[in-house]
Chains A and B, each alone.
Chain A
Amino acid sequence: MHVKVLGSGCANCQRLAQHVGTALARVGLTATVEKVEDYPSILAYGVTSTPALVIDDEVVVAGRVPSATQVEELLRARA
């Protein structure tokens, strides 16, 4: 599983990355987590409201910081 956190490195993106870490630990999945910070790559996903969460190349959340529990549900749904 490939998880990507899209965002320019602001506080919200860092919080999302934390929630992803927490959720992965809870689900017990091993996944590669990548932070995408350059704008052309972010926009290539069609995302203009950061932060955004991409699981296996699909944008699942954009424009807000989902809670760790919500990330957990999203991960389980795609596991």
Chain B
Amino acid sequence: MQVLSLPSPKVRAWIPVLAGAAAWVVLYRSILPLWDWLVYDLAGLAPDTRLGHAVHFFFYDVTKLLLLLAAAIFVVSVLRSFLSVERTRALLGGRRSGLGTVLAAGLGGATPFCSCSAVPVFIGFVSAGVPLGTTFVFLIASPLVGPVAVTMLYAMFGLNVAVLYVLTGLTLAIVAGTIIGRFGLERHVEDFVYQTSLGKGFDPSRELTWADRFQIGRDEVVDIVRRIWPYLLVGIGLGAGIHGWVPEDFFARVAGPDNPFAVPMAVALGIPLYTNAVGVVPLVGALYAKGVALGTLLAFMMSVVALSLPELILLRRVLKPRLIAVFVAVLAACIIVTGLLFNAILGARLLVL
């Protein structure tokens, strides 16, 4: 009889994850004292000088955000491994509207796919009979309410703003996608899309063990962090620069809540700007502290995240110019209305963060 048996593979898969979680907690709790010691004691910078404060702020924020993002990406990736584009498509096919669009928005945030998959996802959805409007709801929601954007907002603005952002993003995707669907532009989809026949589906979420799911989570953390860290450094650096060196009321004068043109300008500025949530949120945080209205900043961020030139160029392969134009115009208009609405409701009041 074997007294000491090895734990089952299922249990063994959890051991490194639990160890990692414990290490994460210890690390997360020690970065503040660590940077206090490194910056103030070892490097000898005074905490009450502008430079000392900025250096400490920069390093502490970068490490804190990297840790938070790594944890969020890991958890979300593992959860997402239970879902796939294929399964989502099966859930959405055959649903006309209403519930279908709500489902599409929710699944858009939850289904794993990288932006370079936007085209095959689009073809797959449309050729499986998912209505055009519902497909757009999914495509708009996906980058807008992804875990990276939400974690960044949570870290810089707190839970209230993060929740508000998710609800706004989902609503915006539903409204914009539904409006695009109402235009009846099915014939402005490139013809080959309808002629494409989908092979027998391959569902990447099938037959995965816990060890596989944790592996996916780890891969995703490494992959995303490797891609975003330069944006994080630039974003936080710019944020720190604005904090310290831009006059207090400069932005409040040009982009305060009283200027109705600030929102459309912010959206127009956001389209060609090639960055992502990681780069833009620290900037948004610094601009908010300098008095730019929250609605304006929200519109700017949504435009940066949801409307990007590279994505439009990709989509051009399946959408004729007229449909691309409608997509951009409707989405931009919806973002502008959202921004103006926020500014009108919140006005000059500062949201308690």
Contacts and interface: CB of A to CB of B under 8 A. Distances in A.
Interface of A: 7-8, 10-13, 39-40, 42-50, 52, 59, 61-65, 67
B313 to A, nearest CB: 11
B43 interface: no
Nearest to B116: A10
Given A43-B198, A48-B121, A63 B116 contact: no
Contacts of A67: 219
Which of B84, B197, B202 counts the most A-chain CB atoms under 10 A from its CB?
B202
Interface of B: 84-86, 89, 112-114, 116-117, 119-121, 123-125, 127, 192, 195-202, 204, 216, 219, 223, 314, 317-318
B117 A49 contact: yes
Contact of B201 (A7, A13, A46): A46
A42 B116 CA distance: 13
Contacts of A42: 120
21 contacts: A8-B120, A10-B114, A43-B123, A43-B124, A43-B127, A43-B197, A43-B199, A44-B197, A46-B198, A46-B200, A46-B202, A48-B120, A48-B123, A49-B117, A49-B121, A50-B114, A61-B204, A62-B204, A63-B117, A64-B204, A64-B216
B227 to A, nearest CB: 8
Contacts, number: 86
A67 B202 CA distance: 20
A39 B120 contact: yes
Contact of B113 (A11, A49, A61): A49
Contacts of B121: 48-49
